[in-house]
Structure 1
Amino acid sequence: MAELDFISLVHKQTSRDYVARVTEYPKAKAAEKAKLWDYDYWDGNRLTGYGGMKYDGRWLKVARAMAAHYGLKAGDRILDVGCGKGYLLYDFTLAVPGVEVVGLDISSYAISDSKEEIRNAIVEGHARKLPFEDNSFDLVVSINTLHNLPCYDLDLALREIERVGKDKKFICVESYRNESEKANLLYWQLTCEAFNTPEEWDWWFKQTGYTGDHGYIYFE
């Protein structure tokens, strides 16, 4: 299990006003809207979510980096747990023509508004119970999803990812290394339930038997 950084290629492109996030709109109300995983979260105001998520190809460099690192090839099966609108899945098909992509997300809105080319490959469901057979994917990824789960679901989700994947897995979650990053995370997040340092995440991985790779997003 290794700590890898694929996501800063996208994460650090975004500027964030942490103070505005908690002063320009009631934070509790924003979180309530966000946790419905509906229009407000994906395509509404920036203060209640992404502020409009449209495909722009930014995940292609992430897909290419993962494909190179894991040696992906035509015929491999890739699962994205918490795939949202499926942009990374679509970019995997561009990075490695011939791969089979499958996505799972809790949001019916995100699925209905996903990339049309891969929409039929996305199923609605929860990470705590993946509707797939053991060892059925060559790569399983989960980007910015698992920190949204309470501990009892997080435990199950990590075990499920381990179950359905073969040897190649990558999880990216929000974390913090100091009080400044912790404050920024608290200001910025709308849906986070698992607030863990890297050391605490490492405990979760060992506790659940997760053997894949991982990465962290920090709000510096």
Structure 2
Amino acid sequence: MKIYNILLAEYNPRELFNEEYFKGGRSNYNDYLRDHRFPLVARALTEIFGLEGRLVLDAGCAVPYLVDELRKLGVHAVGFDISDYARRKAVLERLEDFLQADACKTPFRDRSFYMVIASELVEHIPDFLEDTILRELTRLADKYLLIRTPYCHDPEDNDVTHVNIHPWMYWVSRVEEMGFIHDDELYARFAVRGHREFRYFFDEFMVFVRT
């Protein structure tokens, strides 16, 4: 499966998610730029989940544009990514509250964040690290964990690092094993708004609530 055998031999995400990855050739990006829909996503998240004044983590955020838009709305948002390229872009664009870190081992305390957002993260994690990443994400989330990931293989998907793709219910089952439950009502509320205002762009998340 794509570069899966290479990952098994030597998994080095810091090298994988370099400038070449973001600027095309090994991913679906031509570059990772500030999209005009980030403010819409941030407002929907803030209003539906009551995030104003709350501490929120965007895990594996790439360049922290969503973090920046959340902060404009009064959310205490923080983002991290392992990519040197994302770090350089964040510095160049003066985007604050960004940390370079490995999603499998972050420096944060247990249940530090009211919400943890993991958008298009878990599909990049090889299966031998799947349990590690899920335990880390659930460890950090005090109330909500939002996960966005593809649920099936797409023949037009050019991202060579999409190595861990499973159906919806697989991820629901895995996260619910770790003390969370999927909230179908909140999922639907966000998805309806997302499909209307910013379709195909952060337009739906699995919504898990700590039990």
Report if TM-score (shorter chain) is over 0.5. Answer: yes
Cα deviation for residue 68 of structure 1 reads 1.0
Query: Does 1:85 find its partner at 2:63?
Result: yes
Cα deviation for residue 113 of structure 1 reads 0.6
Q: Which residue of 1 aligns with 2:150?
A: 174
- Identical aligned pairs, as a percentage? 26
Q: Which residue of 2 aligns with 1:201?
A: 171
Equivalent residue letter for 2:85: Y
Query: Does 1:48 find its partner at 2:26?
Result: yes
Does the CA-based 8 Å contact 2:60-2:119 persist in structure 1? yes
Residues paired across the two proteins, number: 175
Q: Which residue of 1 aligns with 2:155?
A: 184
Show structure 2 runs of 5+ residues with no match: 8-12, 188-204, 207-211
Cα deviation for residue 206 of structure 1 reads 2.8
Structure 2 Cα separation of the partners of residues 212 and 129 of structure 1: 24
Q: What SS class does the counterpart of residue 153 from structure 1 fall into? A: helix
Does the CA-based 8 Å contact 1:158-1:210 persist in structure 2? no
In the TM superposition, what are the counterparts of 1:125-144 in structure 2 within 5 Å? 125-144=101-120
Equivalent residue letter for 1:37: F
Query: Does 1:36 find its partner at 2:6?
Result: no
TM-score, normalization: structure 1? Answer: 0.70
Q: Which residue of 1 aligns with 2:194?
A: none
Structure 1 Cα separation of the partners of residues 163 and 49 of structure 2: 30
TM-score, normalization: structure 2? Answer: 0.73
Does the CA-based 8 Å contact 1:128-1:160 persist in structure 2? yes
Show structure 1 runs of 5+ residues with no match: 1-26, 177-181
Q: What SS class does the counterpart of residue 140 from structure 1 fall into? A: strand
Query: Does 1:113 find its partner at 2:89?
Result: yes
